[in-house]
């Protein structure tokens, strides 16, 4: 079968298309899935270049990708097909999901074995043209839940600044912050993405046209915000500390896992990095949000599997709008 593998850590070109990989065997609790699309995430290039903690001790050659959509082909011997069907995961069902953090196998392959608990069915009404959005939903969505609900404990009446509002996670952070009762939500992004940020329900701050610190200060009458959700970190983290409303309960959540939170802690400011919690209940919440239109995540670009190195280059530019997805069948 076709599969993307890399045999050393390095640039995008270490990703190689193999056409003779053996089909995997499902282990205990796993199903076999024929993958249609794989969603890409910055974590993919951080694992590929060896900079992520998840690259440590990773056996090579390794696969790439963490989230996908596809069709269930069958199940491991221990799984009862009737029980699987009662969970909506019978063979023939379209599913989406992501590998749990401790499962470091890739998903950019024709067929994968994956824990049944890490999947949820794609609703019947979803058209095949709409599947790329579902391929990019699980990792960004579970991250957004971990950020808004677990790390920020966002509640009614809080004001929020989101950095990177039109990125993969950002496009879900905005609606989830509003859903949690945020009083006002501002989001930074390039001017080219301002309209998209507005559509999602936030007030855009085009950082390439205005000084975003000044704009936020002005918008809040000098008070600042209660919560910052920072998907970018590099040039945004430290200046954001000056934009948190003084007082005991303001906080900043920073997404990149290797972020150094010391500057916040030295100032007595609560700073956290979210940790993804996988599982069916959270995936089903994402299904509900996609169905209702509350989470209008977009897949801005779909590339064929053979162009995955190019997709990684685009991802590394750091200006992805919504999700980048590869079509595993082409
Ligand atoms: N802790 C975790 O478990 C976890 C989970 C998932 C992701 N992450 C991390 O979270 C980060 C974001 O992930 P993602 O999937 O959303 O990435 P992404 O889809 O590549 O989005 C990147 C976003 O950053 C914005 N951006 C770039 N430069 C900026 C700047 N100077 N100021 C403000 N925004 C800027 C881009 O907007 P413009 O194009 O408008 O500039 C784009 O919206 C990554 O570092 C990822 O590794 C962590």
DSSP-derived secondary structure for 212-254? HHHHHHHHTTT--BSEEEES--TTTHHHHHTTBPSSTT-EEEE
> Which of these, 250, 93, 96, lies nearest to 161 by C-alpha position?
250
d(CA 162, CA 147): 11
Q: Is the CB of 42 under 6 A from ligand 1?
A: yes
CA of 150 to the centre of ligand 1 (A): 19
CA of 254 to the centre of ligand 1 (A): 10
Using alpha carbons only, what angle is made at residue 85 by residues 81 and 86, rounded to the nearest 5 degrees? 120
Probe residue for ligand 1, chosen from 318, 321, 323 as the CB with the greatest number of ligand atoms within 8 Å: 318
Question: Tell me, what's the pLDDT at 247?
Answer: 80
- Judgement on whether residues 28 and 131 belong to the same structural domain of the protein: yes
Please, what is the end-to-end C-alpha distance for the chain in angstroms? 13
- Judgement on whether residues 305 and 241 belong to the same structural domain of the protein: no
Element (H, E) at 82: helix 81-86
Domain that holds residue 109: 3-136+297-327
What number does the ligand 1 atom closest to the CA of 234 have? 31
Whether the pLDDT of residue 248 is over 80: the answer is no
pLDDT in tens, 144-163: 999 999 999 999 999 999 99
240 within domain boundaries: yes
Q: Which residues contact 300 (CB under 8 A, 6 or more apart)?
A: 320, 321, 322, 323, 324
CA of 7 to the centre of ligand 1 (A): 27
Q: Is the CB of 314 under 6 A from ligand 1?
A: no
The two structure tokens encoding residue 218 = 């002005």
Q: Report CA torsion sign: 191, 197, 201, 203.
A: negative
- Judgement on whether residues 132 and 150 belong to the same structural domain of the protein: no
Q: Is the CB of 196 under 6 A from ligand 1?
A: no
210 within domain boundaries: yes
CATH for 237: 3.40.50.720
Task: Read off the pLDDT of each residue in 6-16 and give the average, rounded to a whole number.
Answer: 98
CATH for 303: 3.90.180.10
Probe residue for ligand 1, chosen from 150, 161, 164 as the CB with the greatest number of ligand atoms within 8 Å: 164
Question: Tell me, what's the pLDDT at 173?
Answer: 98
280 within domain boundaries: no
247 within domain boundaries: yes
283 within domain boundaries: no
- Judgement on whether residues 219 and 304 belong to the same structural domain of the protein: no
55 within domain boundaries: yes
Element (H, E) at 327: strand 323-327
Whether the pLDDT of residue 38 is over 80: the answer is yes
291 within domain boundaries: no
- Judgement on whether residues 103 and 26 belong to the same structural domain of the protein: yes
Phi, psi of 145 (to 5 degrees): -65, -45
Dihedral Cα 91, 96, 99, 105, nearest 10 deg: 70
Domain boundary pick from 272, 289, 315: 272
Q: Is the CB of 239 under 6 A from ligand 1?
A: no
Q: Report CA torsion sign: 296, 302, 305, 311.
A: negative
d(CA 265, CA 283): 33
d(CA 176, CA 242): 24
Q: Is the CB of 167 under 6 A from ligand 1?
A: yes
d(CA 172, CA 283): 13
How many domains is the chain partitioned into structurally? 2
Q: Is the CB of 296 under 6 A from ligand 1?
A: no
Q: Is the CB of 300 under 6 A from ligand 1?
A: no
What is the 3-state composition of the chain as percent helix, strand, coil, each rounded to the nearest 5? 35, 25, 40
Q: Is the CB of 224 under 6 A from ligand 1?
A: no
- Judgement on whether residues 36 and 116 belong to the same structural domain of the protein: yes
- Judgement on whether residues 215 and 115 belong to the same structural domain of the protein: no
pLDDT in tens, 181-220: 999 999 999 999 999 999 999 999 999 999 999 999 999 9
- Judgement on whether residues 100 and 49 belong to the same structural domain of the protein: yes
32 within domain boundaries: yes
Whether the pLDDT of residue 330 is over 90: the answer is no
- State how far Cα 72 lies from the chain centre: 22
Task: Read off the pLDDT of each residue in 217-225 and give the average, rounded to a whole number.
Answer: 97
CA of 167 to the centre of ligand 1 (A): 6
- Judgement on whether residues 98 and 177 belong to the same structural domain of the protein: no
Question: Tell me, what's the pLDDT at 7?
Answer: 98
- Judgement on whether residues 185 and 267 belong to the same structural domain of the protein: yes
CA of 39 to the centre of ligand 1 (A): 15
- Judgement on whether residues 119 and 150 belong to the same structural domain of the protein: no
Phi, psi of 211 (to 5 degrees): -75, 110
- Judgement on whether residues 195 and 256 belong to the same structural domain of the protein: yes
> Which of these, 98, 129, 136, lies nearest to 325 by C-alpha position?
136
């Amino acid at each position: 079968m076709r599969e993307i593998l890399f045999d050393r850590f390095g640039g995008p070109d270490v990703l190689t298309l193999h056409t003779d990989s053996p089909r995997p065997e499902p282990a205990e609790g796993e199903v076999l899935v024929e993958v249609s699309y794989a969603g890409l995430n910055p974590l993919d290039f951080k694992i590929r270049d060896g900079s992520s903690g998840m690259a440590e001790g990773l056996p090579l050659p390794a696969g790439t990708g963490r989230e996908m959509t596809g069709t269930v082909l069958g199940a491991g011997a221990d799984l009862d097909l009737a029980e699987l069907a009662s969970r909506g995961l019978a063979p023939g069902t379209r599913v989406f999901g992501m590998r749990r953090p401790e499962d470091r196998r890739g998903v950019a392959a024709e067929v994968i074995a994956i824990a049944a608990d890490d999947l949820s069915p794609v609703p019947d009404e979803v058209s095949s043209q709409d599947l790329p959005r579902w391929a990019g939903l699980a990792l960004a969505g579970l991250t957004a839940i971990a950020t808004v609900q677990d790390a920020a404990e966002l509640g009614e009446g809080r004001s929020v600044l989101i950095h990177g509002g039109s990125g993969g996670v950002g496009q879900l952070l905005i609606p989830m912050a509003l859903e949690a009762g945020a009083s006002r939500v501002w989001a930074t992004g390039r001017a080219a993405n301002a309209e998209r940020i507005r559509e999602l329900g936030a007030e855009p701050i085009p950082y390439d046209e205005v000084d975003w610190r000044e704009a936020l200060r002005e918008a809040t009458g000098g008070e600042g915000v209660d919560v910052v959700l920072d998907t970018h970190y590099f040039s945004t983290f430290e200046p954001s500390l000056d934009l948190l409303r003084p007082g005991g309960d303001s906080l900043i959540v920073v997404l990149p896992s290797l972020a150094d939170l010391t500057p916040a802690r030295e100032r007595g400011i609560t700073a956290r990095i979210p940790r993804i919690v996988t599982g069916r209940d959270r995936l089903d919440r994402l299904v509900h949000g996609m169905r209702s239109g509350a989470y209008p995540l977009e897949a801005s670009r779909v590339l064929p599997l053979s162009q995955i190195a190019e997709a990684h280059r685009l991802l590394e530019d750091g200006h992805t709008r919504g999700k980048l997805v590869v079509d595993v069948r082409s």
